[in-house]
Structures are given as C-alpha cells and as structure tokens.
Structure 1
Amino acid sequence: MTLVTTATEVVKLFTAAPNARRRFIKWSSDPKRAHVVNHVMAHRTDAVYRLTPHDMERVLVQDSHALGEVVGARAKKVGNIEKWFPDFAFSHVFHYIVETMGTCPTWEEARRFWRSDDTARGMLLTPALKEVEAAVLQGYEKAVANEAMRWRIGNFYYSFLREVYTLVMLRSAGVDARVHPLADALFRADIWSKRTVVSIYVRNPDYRDGEEGRKHPVEEILAGARPPFSFHTIALPGARRRAKPHLPNDRQIRTAIETLRDG
C-alpha cells in the first residue's frame, strides 16, 4: 500500500494543541492567503516517501552548488531580499517540486522546473523577479540583487534537502517518519513519527541556536496537546565546507532512529 499524507491528517494531528489550532484558524481564514491555503490543503505527500538513499546520493553529488560564488556578506546587505518570503513558503514550493517531478531535484533541476512549470513559476520565480526589481529601484546593482536572491533561495533549498535526506534515512531504517508542507511551514514540524516531532537546524544565533533566537519553536506551538507531543532536535554546527550540502552526520541519524523507535 502506498503511503500518503494529506493536509487533513496533518490538521487533525497537530491542532490537538491549542496554539496550533489558533495558528491554523488564522492562516486558513485569511482571505489574502486563499490561493496558498487552497494549494497546501490539496497537497498530498507521496513521492517523497518512495525516495531511497541511492536517490539522495544522486542529489548529493550534484556538480552545481546552490549558492554558487555568491558572497554571503554582500548578499545579506540587500535588505528587502535578505528577509524576503513569497506568499508560498519555500517548503510549499520544494514539496510541490518533489511531488510533481517524482524525485528530489538537484539545484539545477529545481531551477529548470520553476522556470518551466506554470504553478512553480507563480509560486516562486515571478515574485522573486519582482523582488529583485524592487531592490534595483532601491539603488542596488541588478547583479548584486540577483546574487542576494540566489543566496536566499539557495539556503532554503539546502534546508529542504536536509529534511528530505533525514526523512529518507529514517524511513530506510524502518521508522514511520512523515512530512507535509503544512506541518513544516505552519506548525514548524520538520518531520514526525507518531507523536514525536523532529526539528533540524544549523546553529545560528541570528535565527535559532538552542533557545536563543528561536522563532515560534515547535515545542511552543504544540504545547498543551493531549496526549502530549515529544520532541527531538538535530542541531548542526555552522557549515565549514561550502561545496557540500550540510547534513546530519551518521551519529545524529542513529540517535534519531533510536529515539523514534522508542517513542
């Protein structure tokens, strides 16, 4: 039997927590987000569950690096792009790509996809180009604005790649690990198995490092659920190698497998 995770299942599971229920009601009833809500609520997670470690190896040896030769310090100075979010969360976009392509894309495959697919173009490429033009109007050189946008999208691509890699490794070990863009973007649940939620992040005091800088952590969003959720965190040190995706190591994967099997 093919495993499928629907948005309805995600809502039923996570809105048992009062904060999550309030977040869902606010998000789903916002008329300005109706196009996003309709898309995400119709999303079915399926193809990602069929990925194997071999599939991920193909992606991890890709020749093209998502961040290219972009200098992060310069890219971060383009203020409107550094903190830019399109209407569709990046998680929405990348999950849509995987489910439509039937595989996890390399960076270049993802770029080709959102140029050629009408839905993906509307979700990401068109608003990204508008944001680049807005930066140019603010006085930034177009080349710099383009670099900043590549830095922004490329970093989210690698974040998504970490989550898919972790999911695949957990499932290949027999753990019933699951994902859905609604759970990820709205409830901050990167991966879950039964009632244990896994969070994966790279240490960064500007965003999330332990308790410092965390924005609406999943533990806060899912507090008060009955029965309660439990949580497991995979925290990666800052990346040292630019040419490789920054992924959980074997020890972290083994620990997560043991935790989820016991949960």
Structure 2
Amino acid sequence: MALITRSNEVVSRFCRAPGALREFRKWQNQRPPEVVDYVLSHDTRVLYGLTLDNLVRVLPSRRRPDDHALGNVNGDQAKVVGSIKNWNPDFAFTHVFHYALETMGTFPAWSALRRFFQEDATANAMLWEPSLAMIAKAAKEGWGMQRAQDAMQWRIGNFYYSFLREVYAVVRLRTEGLEVCAHPLADALFRVDGWCENKVISIYVRNPEFRDGQAGRKPDVEVLLKDADPPFTFVPVVLPPASRFAEAHLPDIVGLRAVVAALRGAEAPGMA
C-alpha cells in the first residue's frame, strides 16, 4: 500500500505539545477559510515515490539557464524592495509547492513549475495572481516594473530552492530505510521539515537574520514543541551559507550520515 500522510495525523502527532495546539487553533481561527480547508484536505503521496534521480534531473545547470529559478537577478538589488522582500501570500509557499508536487506527479523543474503557476487554476489563485498584484504595487511605489519583477523572482525562487532542499533531504533519508514523513501543515505551521517517529527534522541554512542557533526571527521548533508528552527529539540539519550561485544548496552526504545515525537513535549529529 502506498504511504499517505494526512493532516489529521499531523495534528494528532504535534498538537500534543501545548504550544503547537495553541498555534493550530489560532491558525484555524485567523487564516482565510480557503487556506485552512485546502491544507486540512491535503494528502502527501507523490513525495514518497520520488527518487534521487528525479531530483537530480531538475537541479539548475549553466547549460539550462531557463531552469534556474533566480535567473540573472541581482540579489542585492532585489532584496531592497521592501514590500516584496518579506512578502507572503495567503497560501504559504510550502502549501503551493506541495500542491504542485502532488498535482504534477513529480518534482518540477523551474520552467515547468512557472508554466504550472500560470495555467493551473488553483496554483494561479494561490500564487501567480497575488504575486502579480504585489509586483504592480511595488512598481507604483517607485521601484519600477523590472526591479519589482526581479524582487519577486528572487523571493519565489529562493523558496523553490528551499523546498527542493527539504524534499531532497526527505528522499535521501528514505533511501536509507528511514520512514521520514512530511506535510505542508507540519512545515508551515510547526516548522517541521520532516519527522521519523518522535524525531523532528529541521533543515536550514545558517543566517543570523532568520535563524542561527537561538538568533534570528524564525520561530524555533524546539520552543513550539516543548512539553509534548511523550517528548520529541530534535535533529537539525544545518548547512553553511551557499557559496555558489548557479548550484542547488543541498545537504552533503557526510552531514546526512550523521542525521541517519541520530534518527536511528545514535548520538546527536554533528552537521555539515
């Protein structure tokens, strides 16, 4: 039988932590009904059938510049467009990417995903139309249309590569025989990139602005899930800042071996 992860499994697993339960109830009451309805009806299936070969095929390449999600955008210039730098649509980016993955039946290359955003009615409403509205708003604020478009490509493109990194880690760990699961509700709401039984996996790149140990603005999964009964064990996958623009920034094999050991109950990992 194919593995399926549903939202009710996510709720029952993580809402045994008081902080997660409070966050879930607040999310139900404050987010748009269409967002809540979609996320609670989402099933994760396709993710569990992916192979590393599926992911290698979509890695950016200098030979395929149209499949690089950041294109030729100058990041330093894109990041100063304030209204887009920290913009989030009503549907979290992980909601949109998980929807695309399940609907398209595989992990899409950037060019295919971009077409999907335009042509699929649900994806269009989730991300394409809201992003166009924000681009127009930023252009009217004085940034100009091209600068606003570049800022939006930088914003969405970086989330695409973050999602690729998370999916790669899940698939890589599952090839080791570990029953690692994932779901957009766990990711967006509880900051859980994956889990294996009661072990919680968090994947992030060192960045003092967002997260580096206890520093930064990104909420800490260990705080959100503390006091759970039974308790969770936390397994971080921490990557150094990216050093090459035209390559996907993925966990290296040495770091993931340490994660495998931690998920199997050995000592806590030393990440690379």
TM-score category (smaller protein)? over 0.9
Between stretches 212-221 and 78-87, larger displacement belongs to: 212-221
| 2:16 maps to 1:16 | yes
Q: What are the superposed Cα offsets for residues 138-194 of structure 1, whole Å, 9 maximum, x if unpaired?
A: 011100000000000000000000000000000011000000000000000011100
> Any runs of at least 4 consecutive aligned residues in structure 1 with deviations exceeding 4 A, and if so which?
none
| Counterpart check, 1:149 vs 2:148 | no
Matched residue SS, 1:29: helix
> Distance in 2 between the 1:253 and 1:155 partners?
22
> Which of 56, 67, 71 pairs up with 1:68?
71
- How do 1:71-110 and structure 2 match up within 5 A? 71-110=74-113
Corresponding residue of 1:226: 229
**In structure 2, distance between residues paired with 1:173 and 1:109:** 29
Q: Judge conservation of contact 1:27–1:33 (CA < 8 Å) in 2.
A: no
Amino acid aligned to 2:251? P
Equivalent residues of 2:60, 2:68 under 8 A apart: no
**1:171-210 alignment, distance < 5 Å:** 171-210=174-213
- Structure 2: segments with no counterpart, 5+ residues: 267-272
Deviation at 1:215, TM superposition (A): 2.2
**SS in structure 1 opposite 2:178?**
coil
For each residue in 1:30-85, what CA deviation from the matched residue of structure 2 results, as whole angstroms up to 9, or x when unmatched? Answer: 2x521100000000000000001111111125522111111111001100000100
| Structure 1 residues 20-35: aligned runs within 5 Å | 20-30=20-30, 32-35=31-34
Match of 1:50 in 2: 49
* Residues in 2 aligned to 1:119 and 1:161: alpha-carbon distance in whole angstroms: 21
Query: 1:25 deviation in Å?
Result: 0.5
Q: How many Å apart are 1:219 and its aligned residue? A: 0.3
Corresponding residue of 1:242: 245
Name the counterpart of 2:169: 166
Greater shift after overlay, 207-216 or 221-230? Answer: 207-216
2:5 matches 1:5:
yes
Q: TM-score, normalised by structure 1?
A: 0.98
For 2:70 and 2:206, the matched residues in 1 are separated by: 18
CA displacement, residues 101-134 of structure 1 (integer Å, 9 cap, x when unaligned): 1101111111011111000000000000000000
Instruction: Give the secondary-structure state (helix, strand or coil) at the position aligned to 1:207.
Output: coil
The one-letter code of the counterpart of 2:206 is R
Confirm or deny: 8 A CA contact 2:60 2:248 kept in the other structure: no
Q: Deviation of residue 210 (structure 1)?
A: 1.5
Deviation at 1:214, TM superposition (A): 4.3
Percent of aligned pairs with the same amino acid: 50
TM-score by length of 2: 0.94
SS at match of 2:152: helix
Instruction: State the Cα RMSD in Å.
Output: 1.0
Amino acid at match of 1:21: L
For 1:138 and 1:250, locate their aligned partners in 2 and report how far apart those are by CA, in whole Å: 45
More deviation, 57-66/212-221: 57-66
Q: Which one of 259, 262, 270 corresponds to residue 259 of structure 1?
A: 262
Equivalent position of 2:218 in the other structure: 215
Q: Distance in 2 between matches of 1:237 and 1:61?
A: 19
